[in-house]
Amino acid sequence: MRHIIIFSLILLIVLPVVSAEEYTLPLLAVKDTETGFKGSTAILKLEIKEGSGRVFLDTFPLTKLDTQMSTRFAKEIACDYIDYGCNNYDFIYTIKSDSVIVGGPSAGAAISALTISALENLDIKEKTTITGTINSGGLVGSVGGLKEKIDAGYEIGLKKILIPKGERFVKEDDVELIKLTANITLKINNSINKNKSLDLIEYGKEKGIEIIEVSTLDEILYHLAGKEIEKLDLNLEIDNSYKETMKNISIILCNRSEKLKNELLSSNLTNKSRKIYNDSIDYIKRAKASFENKEYYSSASYCFSANTKLFYLTIKNKNLTNESIAENVRLAKSGIKKISNTINKKELKTITDLETYMIVKERLIDAENNLKAVLESEDKEEKIFNLAYAIERLGSAVSWSNFFGTGKKEFNLNKENLKKSCINKLAEAEERYEYVKLYIKTGPEKTEQEIKLAKTDLENGDYELCLFKASKAKAESDIILNTIGLEEGQLNNTIHEKLNIVKENIIKGQQKGIFPIIGYSYYEYTNSLKEHDIYSALLFAEYSLELSNLDLYFKEEAKPLQPKIKIEKSTIMSLILVFVSGLLIGMGAAHIMFRKNKKKKK
């Protein structure tokens, strides 16, 4: 028996210690050289250990952009995707490269995919990788330098590269990029269609690489690890309380449109005023069509647009004195103060409450800014228009306040959680904005201003507004990244893909008792806009995407994380030997004790 014990102890000493598997995935990147961007590669590694939900990132050499926030966000997307509570584990990511690469959000899709693969113990196919950002809802976003990345992938022997959907064709010449107007409507310079396009799928074939376009995490995991795509019932049912509330808002706004229109029928309008009046009539017609299709937010939006124009003409016809205008400003400010006091006392319990606060507060600030412009302007026409817009915006805020208390699932929306969500979203927006500037050098002024305003809200403790503005700023950067190199004829497909993702987000939210009133409203509005204003439709599709699953930032602890650690055959044999050795040691110890007891009895 003594020999058995000694042998077992030796086995325990020499057997390897069993540890969690380290998962790896090749990364495609670009490096900034004197002659422009060139392709580069790196290795992404992940190890999961017991901890407190921390995310560690080690990069060598240091990346050009900070990737800490995008790594954390990508990990959150992964945990949300498989509904795992990851707060009891630490995630250790390592990115190793031979040269300084451009970091930031471009590795987001790869990080999310690798994280899910580690948690689900999926076998990642060799010589396969993904390049793309990752957005709310698991949507793969655009990245730059795809041709250069494919070249780099070829150098290390990759056979399959997944790229964001819609990026198959890229311009071989420099693209004269996007210009955003003051109201953020996207405009694409016609000259980009004259540049020669490169088909990346055909380019990959020449190098022996299969290039596949993907748009979601589902598709990535299918091609990367063979995970079957979950079929989701895409029958979206509109929340009844939302439908009835928005229907009433639409009726109120559109009744006002009819009233203002009828008051102006007998007025003698100048040619300029007549044009404004006719534009208003077009909006009213769109509103009626939307109402008949039960698209109540779209109907309300069109009537609001009509009302601002019609009310402007109404005030203009009254030929108000400066004193009368000042009195109207005073009354409007009093109304803003009254509503502000009311909503500031509201206890936010649901995502619906949070979104209602966001949209009401935004409209009140918008109204207040326009009232300020009334007092500062020297031009009478400008004074009247700003006054009309401010009053209509105030009315819109009052209408939206009816959504308070209509939500179902409650969340812990205390100031600390709201502050954390604001900081996280703001960091994402800033990082995405800096990424855009890699390609267009000077970022859109509107987006930069939105980020500054969000920071001001953070400093003032208005975390709800900060979250809202940062979400919009991120969407405005994404719209640029998602349309770089696209032909105008491809924009409809881009919108279609985004709306499908938003639809899935809303359905998943409903399964958890959440209905995102802003996300859905913008989703519906995008469908309405795409027929006659595709650029505005693109913008609202991005807004909808960012605002359709805000619950991600207030996630409660999901089911306990149980990573399926991969165990090789050799490790299994080692475990068996450890078990047998332990059993033998136990038997030996029992035998010795038995003999000692026997001697004592004698």
Evaluate if residue 164 carries a pLDDT over 60.
yes
Query: How confident is the prediction for the chain on average, in pLDDT?
Result: 83
Q: Are 41 and 97 a contacting pair, CB within 8 Å?
A: yes
CA angle 396, 470, 343 (to 5 degrees): 40
> For residue range 315-356, what is the model confidence (pLDDT) as tens digits?
998 888 889 999 999 999 999 999 999 999 999 999 999 999
Radius of gyration of the chain (CA): 30
- Scanning the structure block, which residue is given the tokens 């359709």? 548
Query: For residue range 311-322, what is the model confidence (pLDDT) as tens digits?
Result: 999 999 888 888
Tell me the sheet residues that pair with 134: 140
What pLDDT, in 10s, does the model give residues 374-406?
A: 999 989 899 999 999 999 999 999 999 999 999
Of 146, 86, 139, 62, residue with least CA distance to 129: 146
| Residues 335, 347, 555: CA angle, nearest 5 degrees | 130
Calculate the CA dihedral of residues 17, 20, 21, 27 and round it to 10 degrees. Answer: -130
Q: Which residue has the higher pLDDT, 441 or 357?
A: 357
Q: In the Cβ-directed half-sphere of 67, how many Cα atoms lie within 13 Å?
A: 31
Q: Which amino acid is at 164?
A: P
DSSP state, residue 15: S
Task: Classify residue 195 by burial, with Cβ atoms within 10 Å: 0-12, 13-18, 19+.
Answer: middle
> For residue 188, is pLDDT > 50?
no
Cα–Cα distance for residue pair 340/454, rounded to 1 Å: 19
Top-confidence range, 54-58, 197-201, 467-471? 467-471
Q: Residue 511: its pLDDT value, please?
A: 85
More confident residue, 156 or 436: 156
* Residue 46, H or E segment: strand 36-50
The predicted structure's pLDDT at residue 573: 52
How many whole angstroms from its chain centre is CA 296?
25
Chain-centroid distance, C-alpha 592: 66
- 3-state percent breakdown (helix, strand, coil) of the chain, nearest 5: 60, 15, 25
CA 347 to each of CA 225, 337, 415: distance values in angstroms, whole numbers, following the listed order: 45, 18, 11
Q: What's the distance, Cα to Cα, between the start and end of the chain in Å?
A: 22
State the helix-helix crossing angle for 217-225 and 68-81, rounded to 10 degrees.
90
> If pLDDT is split at 50, 70 and 90, which confidence band does 257 have?
very high
With cut-offs at 50, 70 and 90, classify the pLDDT of residue 306: very high
545-584: per-residue pLDDT in tens?
899 988 888 876 555 555 554 544 444 455 455 455 555 5
Q: What is the pTM of this model?
A: 0.77
Domains of the chain by start residue, with CATH: 23-225 (3.30.230.10), 240-403 (no CATH), 414-470 (no CATH)
- Do 312 and 273 touch, CB atoms closer than 8 A? no
Bridge partners for 48 per DSSP: 91
Q: Calculate the dihedral angle through the C-alpha atoms of 383, 388, 393, 398, rounding to the nearest 10 degrees.
A: 130
